[in-house]
Amino acid sequence: MPRKPAISVPAVSLETHAPGLGAPDLTENRIVRRPFPKDAGERDCYRYLLEQMQASPDHPRGTKPEFKRTCRRQYHVTVDSFEYCWREAVKVTGARWDQPGRRPR
């Protein structure tokens, strides 16, 4: 039986180390379609916020927590529903109510 020629293995390939991995991609892409408005209370809350933002697009007449309290008490919406209505009203009106920082006087 003929012998196979010996294969030389470079010493570099015998080194042990952790496998080189790229940076993990932790982004998650979701497209969730949500029916809007969910109910009459959410529709009324959204309409109220639209009116307020259209009346005063640059200077809110109150703080977001004040609007949240008013909407939750008056229209019986959840916190998530209020936040959704707030975001949608800001998008539609172009109001600058979502800007961080102190309110202008």
Q: What is the pLDDT of residues 20-65, one digit of tens each?
A: 556 656 666 666 666 667 789 999 999 999 999 999 998 888 899 9
| pLDDT at res. 4 | 65
Of the pLDDT bands very low, low, confident and very high (cuts 50, 70, 90), residue 101 is confident
For 29-66, b/e burial (b = at least 16 CB within 10 A) is: eeeeeeeebeeebbebbbebbbebbeeeeeebeeeeee
| pLDDT at res. 26 | 64
